[in-house]
Amino acid sequence: MIRTGGYLLGFSVKRRATRRKAIVVYWCFCVWFCSLIITRGFETQGTVSFLICLFLCFSIIAGELGGIRANGAVKRFEGLRHRERRPTFQTLLKNEPLDAEGTVRTSDPMDEREEKIRDHAHFDAFKFSRRLSLLLLVCFVFLDMSHTQNLLHIAQAFLFGIALTMWSLPQTLILWSEPDMEPADEGSGEAQA
């Protein structure tokens, strides 16, 4: 389910412990970003800042965590519909595997076990998202009654938080729960060497 040899925010994804560190860093960044929206909002630059945030979502979340895009830490969720492209100089430098026909497979097809893991991660993520949405709605109703000044900013931040959850929670659950890819001895042997 996790791409071997991948990196997440500079951390190797082979070990679960290092993966979890990367995930904690990632979610701290997300919380910080949401708090920034609460204080400043999208008001200043409006739609332009929203587009920048969406671009960040695509480039960082989809790119780094994977799942939605091909070259992330997690395999592409719809792995069966992988794209095939001709090898370029860059792919030759990266030493990416080639097919018999000479094309590059950007994502390996998923087997049945991986599909089960993927679907189960989405089920768990959906359960969490459902509760989060309800909780945020209740929070918003209470804030609305207290006539908070920057209510629109809070609404934007809450919705942005839900959007971030939608984009990255299943990948996070997979990265968090999958076991180590290499035995502990091998890693310590490398470290000693």
**29, 84, 88, 123: which one contacts other proteins (CB under 8 A)?**
123
Q: How many whole angstroms separate alpha carbon 138 and alpha carbon 118?
A: 30
Q: How far is the CB of 91 from other proteins (least distance, A)?
A: 28
Burial class (CB in 10 A: 0-12, 13-18, 19+), 175: buried
Residue 152 interacts with other proteins (CB under 8 A)? yes
Task: Specify the stretch interacting with other proteins by CB under 8 A; choose among 7-15, 17-25, 132-140, 178-186.
Answer: 132-140
Closest to other proteins by CB, 141 or 193: 141
What does the DSSP assignment read for 20-51? HHHHHHHHHHHHHHHHHHHHH-STTTTHHHHH
**87, 159, 177, 187: which one contacts other proteins (CB under 8 A)?**
159
Task: Please report, in angstroms and rounded to a whole number, the separation of the first and last CA atoms in the chain.
Answer: 29
Task: Name residue 57's amino acid.
Answer: C
Question: Which residues contact other proteins by CB under 8 A?
Answer: 42, 46-47, 50, 54, 57, 68, 77, 116, 118-120, 122-123, 125-127, 129-130, 133-134, 136-137, 140-141, 144, 151-152, 155-156, 158-160, 162-163, 166-167, 170
